[in-house]
Amino acid sequence: MKGIPLKEIRHVLLDMDGTLLDKYFDDYFWHHLVPERYAEKHDMSFVKAKDFLLKTYRHHEGTLNWTDIDFWSRELALDIPALKEQIRHLIDVHPHVEDFLKSLRRRKKHVALLTNAHSKTVKLKFRESGIGKYFDDVVTSAEMGAPKEDRPFWEKAERLLGFERERSLFIDDTEDCLRAAKDFGIKYVVLKGRASSKEKPKRSSEFLYITDFNELLEG
């Protein structure tokens, strides 16, 4: 594996959106479908609706509200879970993700999903992608009472999962989350540099990064 001593690692902690799954689904949902429906509901232009919504999103970014679809349903007076179901065909797994997950199972690693996503979103995406069967545990920020960017998330996740910081690998597409994990003491952290198939890969001067999971496959 690319700079990662897999034999020393017992716990593999993985983000979902943008890391394992193509973030295009989420980008399209929040930047196109929701503004479109909001504009229809309030008889306003798409541009005006999107501008208003982007400002509203930014206000809640980094908080538990950010990925709480029940909060957004109330805030926007839209059925967010139902809208997500409408475009569920856009949910897609990044290349070589399943190969990587299968390799972890063969090596008997403890594999946990650590996500800021709402539990309803996790359920939908597991159902559509089929990757749920590869995980021993699923931990959401709502359960922990804090987003992954905050230390309390990691303190509670450690107590729940019992992972060893020195023998854990964490992969995420957000550097703030990786920074929080590293500060907490997770020894191996990796940036998934390509979150969306529609965007150019990100590079990092701070973290080891990959653009495709085949970089973490041996042989």
Question: Band of the pLDDT at 3, cuts 50, 70, 90?
Answer: confident
pTM over 0.85: yes
Residue with tokens 């959106």: 17
- Quick: pLDDT tens for 97-107: 999 999 999 99
- Residues above pLDDT 90, as percent of the chain: 94
- In the predicted model, is pLDDT for residue 2 greater than 80? no
User: pLDDT at position 4, please?
Assistant: 87
Q: Which amino acid is at 123?
A: K
DSSP assignment string, 124-139 = HHHHHH--GGG-SEEE
- Quick: pLDDT tens for 138-158: 999 999 999 999 999 999 999
Catalogue all structural domains in the chain, each as residue range(s) with its CATH number. Answer: 6-22+92-216 (3.40.50.1000), 25-89 (no CATH)
What is the pLDDT of the chain when averaged over all its residues? 96
- Quick: pLDDT tens for 160-200: 999 999 999 999 999 999 999 999 999 999 999 999 999 99
Q: What's the burial of 200, exposed, middle or buried (CB within 10 Å: 0-12/13-18/19+)?
A: exposed
Give the chain's end-to-end CA distance (angstroms, integer). Answer: 9
Sorted by sequence, the CB contacts under 8 Å of residue 113 that are 6+ apart come out as 14, 15, 16, 122, 135, 137, 138, 139
- Quick: pLDDT tens for 62-96: 899 999 999 999 999 999 999 999 999 999 999 99
